[in-house]
Amino acid sequence: MRVIVLGGSFNPPHLGHLILAEEMRREFGYDKVVLVPSKAPPHKTVANDPGPELRLEMTRAAVEGDDSFIVDDCELGREGPSYSIDTIRSLRGRLAFEGNPGLVVGDDLIPGFGAWREAEALSREADIVCARRTGAPRVDLPYPHRWAGNMLIPISSSLVRERIASGEPFRRLVPEGVFRIIQARGLYPRHSMPNATGGKQRHETHQD
């Protein structure tokens, strides 16, 4: 089994995450996508965070019944920030996969990749796959990597939170299971609108 890893806050998970994951899996010939919700992304507070347990619950609901996905909670059980190198090593110790796992890195994160914890070791222990997220010109990455030809999807977690907080329709932006949890728990309420978009600092595996 060959796997590719997509990490992020998943706050909340949306259809853009699933489309990106499926395109990465098919383009590069992986068997499964491992979704890894972060507990505490480095150098950033998760905007309007309902808590890592609820984000994990939504991520599981997003892919329920689809055996091409694995949802792993390794970052929730660790103390401190969620570093990609720690996640890759944790997955290697527990999942029976062949060779190096793939690691999806959005093009918005590429400029800062060199500052990630043990970036050089990470590039040896995972196959870096650069995904198009902004449509910006490619930035040189001085580590082994491949660029994906994925489509650009104009959906982000911050957009979903904004629409919920402002009372605008969001039902078709998220999977059915995620929609039900948001509605049942009253997540991202209207009073959260001033902070709905949160900061835009990018780091490690945060895929908004």
> Is residue 23 one of the residues assigned to a domain?
yes
> Is residue 177 one of the residues assigned to a domain?
no
> Is residue 118 one of the residues assigned to a domain?
yes
Helix segments in the chain, DSSP class H = 15-28, 52-62, 84-94, 119-125, 157-165, 176-185
High-pLDDT (> 90) share of the chain, % = 81
Quick check: 42 pLDDT over 90?
no
pLDDT digits (tens, 9 = 90+) for 117-136: 999 999 999 999 999 998 88
> Is residue 201 one of the residues assigned to a domain?
no
136 vs 60: CA distance, rounded Å = 31
> Is residue 176 one of the residues assigned to a domain?
no
Q: How confident is the model at residue 66 (pLDDT cuts 50, 70, 90)?
A: very high
In total, how many domains does the chain have? 1
50 vs 47: CA distance, rounded Å = 9
Sheet with 102-106: list strands edge to edge. 69-71, 32-37, 3-8, 102-106, 127-131, 145-147
Q: How confident is the model at residue 40 (pLDDT cuts 50, 70, 90)?
A: confident
Token pair listed for 86: 């720690």
Quick check: 206 pLDDT over 80?
no
CB 79, CB 42: distance < 8 Å: no
The H-or-E segment that residue 130 falls in is strand 127-131
CATH (domain of 83): 3.40.50.620
pLDDT digits (tens, 9 = 90+) for 70-100: 999 999 999 888 899 999 999 999 999 999 9
Determine the pLDDT at residue 47.
Answer: 77
> Is residue 79 one of the residues assigned to a domain?
yes
Quick check: 202 pLDDT over 50?
no
> Is residue 168 one of the residues assigned to a domain?
no
Q: How confident is the model at residue 207 (pLDDT cuts 50, 70, 90)?
A: low
pLDDT digits (tens, 9 = 90+) for 142-193: 999 999 999 999 999 999 999 999 999 999 999 999 999 999 999 999 765 5
> Is residue 103 one of the residues assigned to a domain?
yes
Q: Which domain holds residue 81?
A: 3-154
Task: Tell me which residue of 59, 76, 73 sits closest to 181, measured CA to CA.
Answer: 59
Q: Of residues 150 and 200, which shows the higher confidence score?
A: 150
Task: Please compute Rg for the chain using Cα positions.
Answer: 16
Task: Tell me which residue of 154, 164, 100, 157 sits closest to 132, measured CA to CA.
Answer: 154
Token pair listed for 70: 């694995």
